[in-house]
Amino acid sequence: MQAGQDKGRTAPQASLRSQDQVIILSGDLVIETIETLDGEFGDATGIDISDVAHLDTAGAWYLLQLRQQVSDTSHEIAIRGASAPQRQLLETVRQNMPPEEALDERPVTLFDRLEEIGRTVVGGLHIAIEMIGFLGQVIATIASLVFHPRRLRMTSLVHHMQEVGLKAVPIVALMAFLIGIVLAFQGSAQLRQFGAEVFVVDLIAISILRELGILLTAIIVAGRSGSAFTAAIGSMKMREEVDAMRTLGLDPIEILVVPRVLALVLILPVLGFIADLTGLIGGALMSWIELGVSPAVFQSRLVANTDVWHFAVGMIKAPFFALIIGIIGCYEGLKVGGDAESLGRLTSTSVVLAIFMVIVVDAVFSVFFALVGV
């Protein structure tokens, strides 16, 4: 930066008085200005700062550096002309000077990288094991609630069913409706080339009932409710509410996790069913407009050609997806530490991981159902 750029700052000057080898400093020795000084001095017998107008911490540090640089090894030269407060500042800075040599960083080697990969893999395995343990804990708690149904928090359960279920109906319905329209539109364009327009009904029915309806619903719910679970439980963890529960003899899994997971398991099939329905309606509407397939024809073809198993396959997957979203959302929430940053990080982890796991499990189900032949 330019010297004297700041208003009211005089650029510092340094010069060597030749008769007694004393370095004379003047002007403002402050953090903005000290870097404009570039004096290379040889040996000197003293430093005089009686003409220095302002001296701040950085200025004091500069003086001490300068002294070290120009002193010979045997004894330190004096800094003269300091006022009482300036002397105090110099003394305080001297006690807090940086250590002589900074720790030089070791270059990163191939082994370091390999070790890092290994640690990441092992860390991932640990998380997987912990999460399976957590799943077991939740299932055990739910099982014990079967024998003690009075301990189930009904109010909480209904509240979460409303939050994750009822309030998600509009977005889920609209999404599925639009997907139905897109499928009909794109499908008809391709099938028309073979004169097989009417197969668009099979295309829509199978893809929505079997895969898209429930998969996209699960993805929306993971983004909407999985993140909300993590954020809500995480902020309770941050404010030590979870610890408070434990000291009162309350089980956080029973109170916080079970109602949320159970609500999702109960409500996700319903949401999936709504998605199936609106998806078919959207597809039928577009087939009618685009191909002239009347709703009556669509309905009869749907009933005649689409095996009920397609619908069943979609519905069977729903509770598993719900379990994945709920368990991951709550698990990440309970992992939140004391700082706000971990809350944000884990919330996004929870969503990404839940969506990823939902798709992985969906793929596993595809293979499974192909093997059993439905």
Partner 1 sequence: MSEQTGSEDTVIRVRGLNKRFKDHVVHEGLDLDVRRGEIIGIVGGSGTGKSVLLQQIVGLLKPDAGQIEVLGQSVRDTSDAEYRALRRRWGVMFQDGALFSSLTVRQNVEAPMREQLEISDALRETMAGIKVRMVGLPENAHGKYPSELSGGMRKRAGFARSIALDPEIVFLDEPTAGLDPIGAAAFDTLIRQLQTALGLTVFLVTHDLDSLHAICDRVAVLAEKKVLAVGTMEEMLEIDHPWVKEYFQGPRARAAVGAAASGLA
Min separation Cβ 90 and partner 1, Å: 9
User: Which of 64, 2, 56, 47 has its CA nearest to residue 29?
Assistant: 56
Which residue in 140, 170, 338, 348 binds partner 1 (CB under 8 A)?
338
Nearest to partner 1 of 53, 125 (CB atom) = 53
Torsion of CA 196, 197, 202, 207, to 10 degrees: 110
Check residue 93 for interaction with partner 1 (CB under 8 A).
yes
Among 112, 250, 339, 368, binds partner 1 (CB under 8 A): 339
**Residues 139, 258: contact at Cβ < 8 Å?**
no
340 binds partner 1 (CB under 8 A): yes
Q: What CA–CA distance (Å, rounded) separates 10 from 86?
A: 18
Q: Considering only CA atoms, which of 135, 70, 76, 127 is closest in space to residue 326? A: 135
C-beta closer to partner 1: residue 97 or 129: 97
Task: Give the integer Cα–Cα distance in Å for 199 and 201.
Answer: 5
# of chain residues touching partner 1 (CB under 8 A): 32
Q: In what order do the strands lie in the sheet with 46-55?
A: 13-17, 22-29, 46-55, 78-80
240 near partner 1 (CB under 8 A)? no
Q: How far is the CB of 68 from partner 1 (least distance, A)?
A: 13
Q: CB-wise, 47 or 184, nearer to partner 1?
A: 47
Give the span between the Cα atoms of 339 and 347, in whole angstroms.
13
56, 251, 290, 362: which one contacts partner 1 (CB under 8 A)? Answer: 56
154: tokens are 């009904």
- Look at residues 120, 343, 154, 3 and name the one whose alpha carbon lies nearest to residue 29: 3
Name which position in 10, 11, 37, 54 contacts partner 1 (CB under 8 A). 54
> What's the alpha-carbon Rg for the chain, to the nearest Å?
36
Nearer to partner 1, 83 or 162 (CB): 83
Q: Does residue 105 belong to the site contacting partner 1 (CB under 8 A)?
A: no
270, 165 Cβ separation under 8 angstroms? yes
Q: Could you tell me which stretch among 90-98, 105-113, 121-129, 366-374 binds partner 1 (CB under 8 A)?
A: 90-98
- Residue 271 · residue 172 · CB < 8 Å: yes
Q: Count CA atoms closer than 13 A to 74's CA, side-chain side.
A: 2
**Quick one: which of 19, 40, 74, 98 contacts partner 1 (CB under 8 A)?**
98
- Any contact of residue 88 with partner 1 (CB under 8 A)? yes
Asked if 362 is part of the footprint of partner 1 (rule: CB under 8 A), the reply reads no
For position 137 contacting partner 1 by CB under 8 A, the verdict is no
85 binds partner 1 (CB under 8 A): yes
Structure tokens at 374: 């439905």
For residue 66, the Cα-to-chain-centroid distance in whole angstroms is 48
Using CB under 8 A, pick the residue from 80, 97, 136, 140 that binds partner 1: 97
Residue 272 structure tokens: 């999936």
Helix (H, G, I), strand (E, B) or coil at 204: helix
| 68 contributes a contact to partner 1 by CB under 8 A | no
Please give the residues from 1 up to 20 whose contact with partner 1 meets the rule CB under 8 A: 1, 7
- Residue from the set 341, 367, 372, 373 that interacts with partner 1 by CB under 8 A: 341
Q: Cβ of residue 16: shortest distance to partner 1, in angstroms? A: 23
Q: Considering only residues 33-52, where is the footprint of partner 1 by CB under 8 A? A: 34-35
Residue 339 backbone dihedrals phi, psi, to 5 degrees? -105, 155
Cα-Cα-Cα-Cα torsion 358, 361, 363, 366, nearest 10 degrees, comes to -120
- Least distance CB 101 / partner 1 (angstroms): 13
Minimum distance from CB of 111 to partner 1 (Å)? 23
Residues that bind partner 1 in the complex, under the rule CB under 8 A: 1, 7, 30-32, 34-35, 53-58, 61, 83, 85-86, 88-89, 91-93, 96-99, 337-342
